[in-house]
Amino acid sequence: MKTFTLSSEGVLARYDYLSRLSPDRWAWEYARRNPDLRRDAEARSDDDVSEMKAPCADIRLLKPRNPQRLAHRWGLMFMPDPDLNGFEADAVWNKHVFPDQVEVNCSPRAPGESCDIWDSTVPICQITHITDLQAREFLLIRGKGCVVQVRCTGLSLLGMEPVRMNLTISDLDAFERKVKAQKAALALIGDGPDLTEPRWTKRTAMLRNGLIALDCLEAGLNRREIAEVIFGKDRVAEDWNGPSLKHSMRYLILKAEALRDGADALKAALD
């Protein structure tokens, strides 16, 4: 897939981290700008979710203490802090909203047997383990500016018995999408590309510019001023009176608002 660079001058540098986010993290970026979600999030409390450290490794253990009805309305296991971005927030999507999660099946580990997933991630990644009120288990694995949400099946990772994690695909109808998600997740532990310079695709550039437009609208800027932030004053001065740039800005803002506010906004951002 062709990638390219974008200007990171001035305030645009704040958005560079977006280039490495997975689709479900993009969904959170748009969702956290939704005023209705932010209103629901005002009811959240730090006491809603318990947090502990795992005794065996530097892993955070999270578990809701009470039903998370407001979060469930948004397809989330519990309500993250909407002031935290797509890399920082503990946004855990349910399977219906985010069906193409990476899956691992946990089986008994024989004495002396290793677990490649554990050995490859724990030393270099930040790992958060989440258990919901139905005892379903998930992982958020952070590294290289990326976040991977993992759904765990089989034996509990919190049990006394050592387990081995194996990548699995439970939905054969979505086989190709699942394989794509697994390959993307492996970038966390591979050599990977040089991350010193953000690289964008046509799709992620549109999503990034949409978030910039939403933030500019929130700050009271008009369409021309938003275009100046994204494309620079020189280009806007040259092209604004033509049909192309004005039309592009109108489309960008309408698309961004739809991703933020529409009934299928999260699914659209995930597609």
What pLDDT is attached to residue 177? 86
Q: Which of 167, 174, 179 is nearest to 99 (CA)?
A: 174
Query: Quick check: 247 pLDDT over 70?
Result: yes
pLDDT in tens, 146-184: 999 999 999 999 998 999 999 999 887 888 888 988 988
d(CA 179, CA 249) in angstroms, rounded, equals 35
pLDDT in tens, 85-109: 999 999 999 988 898 899 999 999 9
Task: Please tell me the pTM assigned to this model.
Answer: 0.93
pLDDT in tens, 191-221: 665 567 899 999 999 999 999 999 999 999 9
Mean pLDDT of the 30-36 span = 96
Query: Quick check: 186 pLDDT over 90?
Result: no
Only one residue has tokens 């030393």, namely: 123
What pLDDT is attached to residue 178? 86
pLDDT in tens, 62-85: 999 999 999 999 999 999 999 999
d(CA 75, CA 1) in angstroms, rounded, equals 30
Buried b / exposed e across 200-211, counting CB within 10 Å, b at 16+? beeebbebbbbb
Q: Greater confidence, 266 or 43?
A: 43
> How many other CB atoms are found less than 10 A from the CB of residue 137?
20
Query: Quick check: 8 pLDDT over 80?
Result: yes
What pLDDT is attached to residue 265? 54
